Amino acid sequence: MEIKVPVSLEEFKIVYLDDHLLFSKAMSQECIYPYFPNACVRQFTNGDKAHDYLEDAIKAHDKIDLFITDINHPGMQGDCLSHALRIYEKKFASPFKIPILIVSMAAENEESIYFDNSGTVIQKYLTKAATVKEIVYSIKVLLK
C-alpha cells in the first residue's frame, strides 16, 4: 500500500522514547526517515534518561520539534514525563512548546485516561495498532 504523504525536506528534531526495540526500529525506518529524511532523531529506551535530556534541552532553550513516547517503559512513564515537560517549559520560560504524540498499547484510543482532550499536555494519542499512514500523518500535523 502506497502512502501519499509528501516527503518533508525540512530539518526537525524529534525525541523518541520506547523500550520496545522492534517497534522503535519500525517507527524510525517506516514512519520517520522515509517521510522526514532530514529529521534528527534522539532515541531513548528509558524514561529517566529521556527526562534528563529533555529537561536540559528545555533549560537551554534548544528547540525540539516533536516528542513521541510510549506510556510504559523503564524509568519515568510517558504520561508523567509529558506533564513534566509542560512544567519545565514554564519554569525555564521556554520560547517553544514541544508537541507530544503518544503511541502506546496502554489504552485503546483517545478516550484513554492518558489523553488530554484539551491538548494542553498531549496533542495526539495513537495505539501501536495504528497504521504507518496514521502515524506519519500525525507526525506531519504536529510538526507544523
Nearest-CA neighbor of 19 among 59, 57, 47, 53?
47
CA distances from 84 to 22, 24, 29, 38 (A): 27, 23, 29, 28
Does residue 2 form part of some domain?
Answer: no
What dihedral angle (degrees, nearest 10) is formed by the CA atoms of 77, 82, 85, 89? -170
Nearest-CA neighbor of 92 among 51, 64, 57, 59?
59
Does residue 32 form part of some domain?
Answer: yes
Does residue 109 form part of some domain?
Answer: yes
Q: Which residue range forms the structural domain that includes residue 85?
A: 12-143
CA distances from 121 to 11, 12, 37, 88 (A): 24, 20, 27, 12
pLDDT tens by residue, 75-129:
999 989 999 999 999 999 999 999 999 998 876 555 555 556 666 788 998 989 9
The residue whose grid cell reads 506531519 is 140
Does residue 21 form part of some domain?
Answer: yes
Does the pTM of the predicted model rise above 0.75? Answer: yes
Residue 109: which CATH number? 3.40.50.2300
pLDDT tens by residue, 12-44:
999 999 999 999 999 999 999 999 999 999 999
Does residue 34 form part of some domain?
Answer: yes
pLDDT tens by residue, 128-140:
999 999 999 999 9
* Element counts in the chain: helices (H) and strands (E): 4, 5
Asked whether the beta carbons of 52 and 116 are under 8 A apart, the reply is no
CA distances from 102 to 25, 66, 93, 123 (A): 16, 11, 24, 8
Does residue 5 form part of some domain?
Answer: no
Does residue 29 form part of some domain?
Answer: yes
